[in-house]
Amino acid sequence: MTALPRTDPGPSGTRPRPRRRPRPRLRRALRAAASAAPAAAPALAAYAAVRLTGLLLLLGAGAAVTDEDPLHRLNGRWDSVWYRRIAENGYGFEARLPDGGVHPDLAFFPLLPALERLLAAVSPLGAADAGLLVAWVSSFGAAWGIYAVGARVAGHRAGVLLAALWGALPTGFVQWMAYTESLFTALAAWSLHAWLTGRPRAAGLLAAAAGLCRPTAAALIAALGVAGAWHLAAEVRGGAAVGTVLRRNRRLLAGVLLAPLGWLAYLAYVGVREGSALGYFDVQAAWGNHVDGGAALTAFIWGLLTGPWPSPLAGAGICAALGLVGLLLGAAVRQRLPPALITYACVVVALSLVGSAYFGSRPRLMTPAFPLLLPLAVSMARRPARRTAVVTGAAALVSGAYGAVMLLGDGPP
């Protein structure tokens, strides 16, 4: 005979309703996360070491060349100011430019400022410091998710190196700024991991949350859509009837349909505010950002190489960096990474290059494209541990020095 949950009478003599037990699926997910934590510890430690190296270099360089608190550059400049203002006052602010242009704050997606506002309401932190805390915590969530994806695809050691390499990106400094890169990457990595481990609805829900974070969520939406179509097409090619395939893949279809909801919801919100179905794209155009197929990027590089004040070394460096990105994408295809990972990385890179926005932001817009680093992590995992430690340490120093120069400069990253 099954024992009923004990329900002691409350103060009024009534019996409270029995407490609902967690759903078995949720319990399994929590147990799986707890059991996976020790395996992820080396990845989190390596990531922390890399980013702390960058932070120490920033503090040292800041003390040497400026009287300003270098940490202010992490949560008190550039885009972080826009997020803080939204957290404190909601949407509606517009910056008026000397040339008559307008920059509306609707260009910034709502998840980060919502978390800043919530954390500031329940803690002594102001919105700026809350944004920094969200970024730092999210960065470790991202490193864990990146490790989990790498370990799933290529083994534990490759996963550890993947997390460390992501921290050692030249643009790794933005991971500890009050920006959305870390928050979005955490959601994207765990969404992709959920997909790879056969949990498409969880993947779709995480992708929907990422869609409230930044427009780059279009890459994650595309990744789940392409991977879902790939799976369904494989079953149909195997001889199954289309109706049968759709019926037995209801969870997969649900995940794919859930994925764009957050992204579409914010675009609809801006459309209503602006009175236009294309309102968000009008807002982006006001910031000087529209899809031009890479024309602005090509003109910028050509100007560096041949313009009235040419900088051939800088132009050649950009071309080399773009060539390296292409090589990494090619390696990912040759290694037959899962379609979701390849699609996600390709679309993140494409979205970073085909717009007409400020060039200096393009490298950091690629920061969430962590699957690009997986072929490199796989190659390093085959090398002796001492050699990989030296390479990772050197990358951390170079990344930290580059980050200090960028953060202490005048232009926004």
Q: Where are the domains of the chain?
A: 40-407
Supply 274's token pair: 């602006």
Supply 48's token pair: 């922390």
* Per-residue pLDDT at 274 exceeds 50: yes
Q: What's residue 9's pLDDT?
A: 35
Kindly state the average pLDDT of the residues 21-37: 61
Name the DSSP class of 291. B
Radius of gyration (C-alpha) of the chain in whole angstroms = 23
Q: What's residue 7's pLDDT?
A: 35
Confidence of residue 316 (pLDDT cuts 50, 70, 90): confident
Which positions ≥6 away from 95 have C-beta within 8 Å? Answer: 102, 103
8 A C-beta contact, residue 339 and residue 227: yes
Largest pairwise CA distance in the chain: 88
Place of tokens 């949350």: 209
Which positions ≥6 away from 363 have C-beta within 8 Å? Answer: 170, 171, 321, 352
Name the DSSP class of 96. E
Confidence of residue 398 (pLDDT cuts 50, 70, 90): very high
Number of C-beta neighbours around residue 306 at 10 A: 10
d(CA 1, CA 185): 49
Confidence of residue 36 (pLDDT cuts 50, 70, 90): low
Place of tokens 């349909």: 257
Supply 402's token pair: 């580059």
Q: What's residue 14's pLDDT?
A: 40
Q: What's residue 10's pLDDT?
A: 38
Give me the sign of the Cα torsion angle 341, 268, 357, 136.
Answer: negative
Place of tokens 């295809």: 333
Q: What is the mean pLDDT of the chain?
A: 88
d(CA 27, CA 38): 18
Pairing outcome for strands 102-104 and 94-96: antiparallel
Give me the sign of the Cα torsion angle 392, 395, 399, 400.
Answer: positive
* Per-residue pLDDT at 283 exceeds 70: yes
